[in-house]
Structure 1
Amino acid sequence: MLKIAFCDDETAEIAQLEELLEEYAAARGQEFVHTSYQSSVELMADIEKGERFDIMLLDILMPGENGMTAAREVREHDTNVKIIFLTASPEFAVESYAVDAWYYQLKPIRQEDFFRLMDSACAACSKEQTHSLILRSKNGIVRVELEKLVYCEVMGRTLTFHLNSGVVLESMGRLDDLCNQLVPYPNFLRPHRSFLINMEYIANIAARSITMQDGAEVPLPHGKYSETKDRYLSYIFDRKKAVL
């Protein structure tokens, strides 16, 4: 069940969005949980308490803190939520890319516009939920898409996740348990007892280490080079990538 947030200072706009969501849920046979806010301050108060949403429809032109500023703050806590900006003005369209907005929708919102946006966002959420991890980090509950995970390192009971965006997340756990969860995904390899890597991000394999595309060096234990190289080449051939 997806969680939706509406944020608009106009009561009539909130009522319209709630009605459209009800119509959409009935038409698609899906269930949603939604929360409505009439200010970005209220929204951010819940976000800072750990509340997370899958999709957020956010008005830009609101009294006090506008929606664009709120979106920047949301991104400090949640990089996965699909932010859809709602506005009567096109002037912020370019700026919306800076906060990785899913879409920029001009008002008034017609039913067909709402259904199209929700179809797209819901499909993306479903795909991410299938290929993702849920972490309990210092920033709260975070969903990590597996395709964005470069490598994970364990020190004691702390798992450190390095993402392709440069973001680093920490969570308590065991690397053995993580490896067991990722067995169905052939792109993950454990070349060292303290590291799990995504082979999609390998830049170089040498006798004593693996270099990832972000420059990180993952140590290779003595005698593991041939096994690791063969596993990587097998993965590459299975993916039908060119090898010279």
Structure 2
Amino acid sequence: MFRIALCDDNEQFIKFENEIIQDYFLSSGENCSIDSYNCGADLIKDDNKLANYNLILLDCEMPGISGLEAAEVIREKGINVPIAFSTNYYDFTIKGYHYGLVRYLVKTEDSFRDNIIECIKYVKSIKKENEYLSIKVNGVMQTYKQSDIVWITSDKHYIKLFVKNEAEDTWNCSEIKVRMKLEDITDSLSSAFLRVHNRNIVNMDYISEFSPYFVVLNTSSQTKTNISMTVRNKRDLHKKYYAYKGSLL
């Protein structure tokens, strides 16, 4: 899933951008998720969501917090998501690149449609989709390699991530607790993750076997853990698991 945030105070232009992006992903057979914002203040509210976009496309000039100011806040938060600016002018070019801009798209150019598609293709080429997951832990943005996340479970108003730690020939899991819901993280996970229960999401690369009532995970180099599974969906979960394993062959 390729996730894009569009931020522009012109609703008609956001609809135009949406159309371009949706047409591109539909024609390429890929999935995308587009969130639209009419002001910079709304965009920068949720750090966890912000950190897991694949691309943020900002209008330079907006009332309140401008695109330039929003980009500055994003970088101050330690979030390194690719950012592109859209504007009617070239006046902000030098200042914009100060924030690690990947592209500068001029709305008035006839080539805008082609340029936004080229921008998406470029971002896809420089960073493998879903390779990392960024979340705020104890007020600090942390980034984890998704292939090291073994299992995620919900615990009341929190989620717990069990992340692989390697030491020479052995490995175990560290537990990371974050105040958020599983639903807040689901769309940011790669195809390796399978929701086996309303409380549990597992990385299929660590599945050892299925028992009648559990998914058995390798949670260290010596330990296996039974993870609760929704039994009535067991057949469907098996099919998804074998489809995923087959896609790796």
Cα distance in 2 between the residues matched to 1:33 and 1:23: 13
Retained in 2: the 8 A contact 1:72–1:99?
yes
User: What is the aligned partner in structure 2 of residue 54 from structure 1?
Assistant: 54
Q: State yes or no: 1:4 paired with 2:7.
A: no
Structure 2 vs 1, CA of residues 20 and 59 (structure 1 numbering), >3 Å: closer, same or farther? same
Q: State yes or no: 1:114 paired with 2:116.
A: yes
Cα distance in 2 between the residues matched to 1:33 and 1:86: 19
For 1:119, give the aligned amino acid: K
Cα distance in 2 between the residues matched to 1:58 and 1:12: 15
For 1:104, give the aligned amino acid: Y
User: What is the aligned partner in structure 2 of residue 75 from structure 1?
Assistant: 75
Structure 2 vs 1, CA of residues 11 and 42 (structure 1 numbering), >3 Å: closer, same or farther? same
- Runs of at least 5 residues in structure 2 that lack an aligned partner in the other structure: 146-160, 170-249
- Runs of at least 5 residues in structure 1 that lack an aligned partner in the other structure: 146-171, 184-244
Cα distance in 2 between the residues matched to 1:23 and 1:85: 21
Cα distance in 2 between the residues matched to 1:61 and 1:124: 27
Retained in 1: the 8 A contact 2:9–2:39?
yes
User: What is the aligned partner in structure 1 of residue 87 from structure 2?
Assistant: 87
Q: Deviations over 1:163-198 (max 9, x none)?
A: xxxxxxxxx978xx3226x99xxxxxxxxxxxxxxx
Cα distance in 1 between the residues matched to 2:94 and 2:124: 24
For 1:16, give the aligned amino acid: F
For 2:17, give the aligned amino acid: L
- 1:81-230 alignment to 2 at 5 Å? 81-108=81-108, 110-126=112-128, 129-130=130-131, 132=132, 137-139=137-139, 142-143=142-143, 177-179=164-166
Structure 2 vs 1, CA of residues 92 and 66 (structure 1 numbering), >3 Å: closer, same or farther? same
Cα distance in 2 between the residues matched to 1:15 and 1:114: 14
For 1:105, give the aligned amino acid: L
User: What is the aligned partner in structure 2 of residue 202 from structure 1?
Assistant: none
Retained in 1: the 8 A contact 2:79–2:141?
no
User: What is the aligned partner in structure 1 of residue 173 from structure 2?
Assistant: none
Shift of residue 54 of structure 1?
A: 1.6
Retained in 2: the 8 A contact 1:55–1:83?
yes
Higher-Rg structure is 1
Cα distance in 2 between the residues matched to 1:140 and 1:29: 36
Percent of paired sites with the same residue: 24
Cα distance in 1 between the residues matched to 2:143 and 2:36: 22
Retained in 2: the 8 A contact 1:54–1:80?
no
Structure 2 vs 1, CA of residues 144 and 91 (structure 1 numbering), >3 Å: closer, same or farther? farther
Q: Deviations over 1:118-174 (max 9, x none)?
A: 1101222326x44x56566334664368xxxxxxxxxxxxxxxxxxxxxxxxxx978
Looking at secondary structure, tell me which structure has more strand per residue: 2
Structure 2 vs 1, CA of residues 91 and 51 (structure 1 numbering), >3 Å: closer, same or farther? same
Cα distance in 1 between the residues matched to 2:50 and 2:121: 26
Structure 2 vs 1, CA of residues 134 and 14 (structure 1 numbering), >3 Å: closer, same or farther? closer
Q: State yes or no: 1:28 paired with 2:15.
A: no
Cα distance in 2 between the residues matched to 1:85 and 1:62: 12
Shift of residue 79 of structure 1?
A: 2.8
Structure 2 vs 1, CA of residues 23 and 173 (structure 1 numbering), >3 Å: closer, same or farther? closer
User: What is the aligned partner in structure 2 of residue 45 from structure 1?
Assistant: 45
Q: Deviations over 1:195-230 (max 9, x none)?
A: xxxxxxxxxxxxxxxxxxxxxxxxxxxxxxxxxxxx
Retained in 1: the 8 A contact 2:75–2:99?
yes
For 1:43, give the aligned amino acid: L
What is the root-mean-square deviation in Å for CA atoms of aligned residues?
3.3
For 2:114, give the aligned amino acid: E
With structure 1 as the length reference, what TM-score do the two structures score? 0.54
Retained in 1: the 8 A contact 2:90–2:106?
yes
Retained in 2: the 8 A contact 1:77–1:139?
no
